[in-house]
Structure 1
Amino acid sequence: MKKSNIYISFLLLIILLGCKSSNLSYFDKTHPSTTPKLFAPTIVNTESIELNVVFNYNHTEMFFSRIVDNSFVIHHSELIDGKWSNIKPIKMYPDTILVSIACDPTITKDGKTMYFLGVDPKLYNNDITREELYTIPPDIYKSKKVDGKWGLASKVDFSVSTEYFETYPVVTSDGSLYFRSNRPTKNGGMQTYRSQYLGNEKFATPRVVDLKTESKELITYVSPDEQYAITNGQGKFQITFNKNGEWTKPKEIPLTYESGWRYYCPYMSSDGKYFIYSRRYNNPEIKGWAGVEKGEVYWVNANLLLNEK
């Protein structure tokens, strides 16, 4: 069957990425084929709610989020002498903060800065309910790795983090940030933004990313070189390509989407071989994160993105 041009382009992209690194070490010796499987059962996927697995650029540190006692907590493991260390949480806020949100990590190319979605602890007290916590507008935070340890987080500068919702940060190889925000625009609603990194932890004024679609597809993953991006819209993943600075119309990724589950947090492994994503199941009577009963991380051979239906 003849491949469409857009999928051929993506195949070439996968090959190029694959040349950069091969035989990377994961937590499961049995890697997935075109049938999605749970990522690292009992290690990452447990009885808790887990989401958004990502790796650093050199594939020596793995991150994901887990809900612990009503808090979103970023966990990680490091590859040391060819062996992954035990999963440990990363402390992002002072000890006085008992309930918090830290999720959706993204790591700079040098591995020394992490951006993530957080909620300002000063906006609530420790008696807040889970339902109330999830209604507070989130911001983009950063943590610096110094002497091998991730430090307490601080909010990214005001051009990125505002009084409005900012979510889904994704950092590119040059340090620029893509993220979502519902700050006022002529079109209204949530939009994807890109903010050029200026150096010295400063960013240029964010600009709306035009995906040339009437649907609500919003970018949730961007390749480090910004040659392609994965979006969420209508409950499914799509892929869009950067053609001379213009994004193509997103095309659906042919994944089996089960009813009742929401699919999100797409990510491509650094060798280009595996597509990693999260999904969650809600109690039908409770909306939003307050009603989430199960959260899982899956991975699948990236060739899935090339299949035609």
Structure 2
Amino acid sequence: MNKLLSICLIIALFFGCKNYSISYFDQDPPSSIPKLFAPSIVNTDNIELNVVFNYDHTEMFFSRIVDNSFVIHHSELINGKWSNIKPIKMYDHNVLVSVACDPTITKDGKTMYFLGVDPKLHKNDVTRKELYTIPPDIYMSKKVDGKWELATKVDFSVSSEYVETYPVVTADGSLYFRSNRPSDEGGMHTYRAQYLGNEKFEAPVLIPTKTEKNELITYVSPDERYAITNGHGKFQITFNDNGEWTKPKEVPLKYESNWHYYCPYMSSDGKYFIYSRRFNKPEKKGWAGVEKGEVYWVKADVLFNTK
């Protein structure tokens, strides 16, 4: 049985017991040709990135840059209708410029992990350029009585003094993320931290990937059967073969020059691949020079039909 058929059967068995139709924020699903997700609603003249749904597709999240801050926004499906999009307040009211992006939601929908920057490390009048130079960490917010609480930093074994980015939570609550913490290989690598319960994790373990250009895992499926890497402006897919990740194969999209492709994710039912891209003028690099940010989605076949 090939990998595509196996994954399709797993998805069918995993989601077949659900007795409700899935809503993708009332958007008509895309074909094999990528299209903007929720134009003029999610995708606006602002810079937007990383659309994520919770497991039950009853809450949708994305990040938007507002007044130099990365702010996570969301909408909830209530009585069959999506609520108005609203920002989620992750830090204390006296924090005027902040970073909260790359959300990932646990299977029960009650915990969100995201990339954040410690508000105590900068002044309120910090510029957008200065803010992006502060090493990010992984934060956590709990949903209590229907409301997302102020965030706290994940325990020290995950959020260290080094850079941590791209958190992705698996079905059992474990976390994959990137970090440049010291290792024998040096540089940035993918790590996995086994969840122990009670908001605690085992010491993160480095996950080797068979890449030639240091493409790192940026998304992993909830069952950890496949992962998506990105580096050098393109996505790749890799499969978990008895505990070892196979050599990544490029995802065949139409990659445009001067656009940076990042934040790969999947709809919770595994049917659609969602990704972000941002535009920089050639003479500018990094987030400080980003002029446009968009979120696209496409049928997941584009991932599994790679040659």
Identify whether the pair has TM-score above 0.5, normalized to the shorter chain: yes
Equivalent position SS for 2:56? coil
Contact 1:231 1:238 in 2 (8 A): yes
Question: Aligned equivalents of 2:7 and 2:171: distance in 1?
Answer: 19
Name the structure 2 match of 1:42: 40
> How is 1:148-297 mapped onto 2 (pairs within 5 angstroms)?
148-297=146-295
Name the structure 1 match of 2:16: 19
Name the structure 1 match of 2:106: 108
Change (3 A) 1:14 1:217: farther
Equivalent position SS for 1:281? strand
Question: Aligned equivalents of 1:270 and 1:113: distance in 2?
Answer: 16
Question: Aligned equivalents of 1:8 and 1:200: distance in 2?
Answer: 37
Residue identity opposite 2:193 in structure 1? S
Question: Aligned equivalents of 1:35 and 1:195: distance in 2?
Answer: 35
Change (3 A) 1:226 1:306: closer
Per mean C-alpha deviation after superposition, the further-off stretch among 22-31 and 219-228 is: 22-31
Corresponding pairs, count = 306
Structure 1 stretches of 5 or more lacking a match? Answer: none
Question: Aligned equivalents of 2:303 and 2:125: distance in 1?
Answer: 45
Q: Quote how far apart the aligned CAs of 1:19 are.
A: 3.5
Name the structure 2 match of 1:68: 66
1:138-182 CA-to-partner distances (Å, cap 9, x unmatched) read 000000110000000110010001111000000011110000000
Equivalent position SS for 1:115? strand
Residue identity opposite 1:205 in structure 2? A
Question: Aligned equivalents of 2:304 and 2:17: distance in 1?
Answer: 20
Contact 1:77 1:87 in 2 (8 A): yes
Contact 2:60 2:75 in 1 (8 A): yes
Question: Aligned equivalents of 2:3 and 2:215: distance in 1?
Answer: 18
Per mean C-alpha deviation after superposition, the further-off stretch among 23-32 and 228-237 is: 23-32
Equivalent position SS for 2:186? coil
Q: Please give the TM-score of this superposition, normalised by the length of structure 2.
A: 0.95
Which segments of structure 1 move beyond 6 Å, counting only runs of 4 or more?
Answer: none
* Aligned with 2:85 (options 80, 84, 87): 87
* 1:129 partnered with 2:127: yes
Question: Aligned equivalents of 2:99 and 2:89: distance in 1?
Answer: 11
Per mean C-alpha deviation after superposition, the further-off stretch among 217-226 and 13-22 is: 13-22
Question: Aligned equivalents of 1:136 and 1:290: distance in 2?
Answer: 13
Residue identity opposite 2:107 in structure 1? K
Question: Aligned equivalents of 2:59 and 2:25: distance in 1?
Answer: 12
Q: Quote how far apart the aligned CAs of 1:285 are.
A: 2.1
Change (3 A) 1:301 1:23: farther
* Aligned with 2:52 (options 51, 54, 60): 54
Equivalent position SS for 2:129? helix
Structure 2 stretches of 5 or more lacking a match? Answer: none
Residue identity opposite 2:287 in structure 1? W
Question: Aligned equivalents of 2:4 and 2:64: distance in 1?
Answer: 34
Contact 2:168 2:219 in 1 (8 A): yes
Question: Aligned equivalents of 1:127 and 1:161: distance in 2?
Answer: 25
Change (3 A) 1:215 1:232: same
Query: What percent identity do the matched residue pairs reach?
Result: 77
Equivalent position SS for 1:290? helix
Change (3 A) 1:20 1:64: farther
Change (3 A) 1:124 1:29: closer
Task: Name the Cα RMSD after superposition.
Answer: 1.7
1:231-276 CA-to-partner distances (Å, cap 9, x unmatched) read 1122111111111111111111111111111111111111221111
Equivalent position SS for 2:41? coil
1:163-218 CA-to-partner distances (Å, cap 9, x unmatched) read 11000000011110000000111111110000000111111000000112232111
Question: Aligned equivalents of 1:127 and 1:308: distance in 2?
Answer: 47
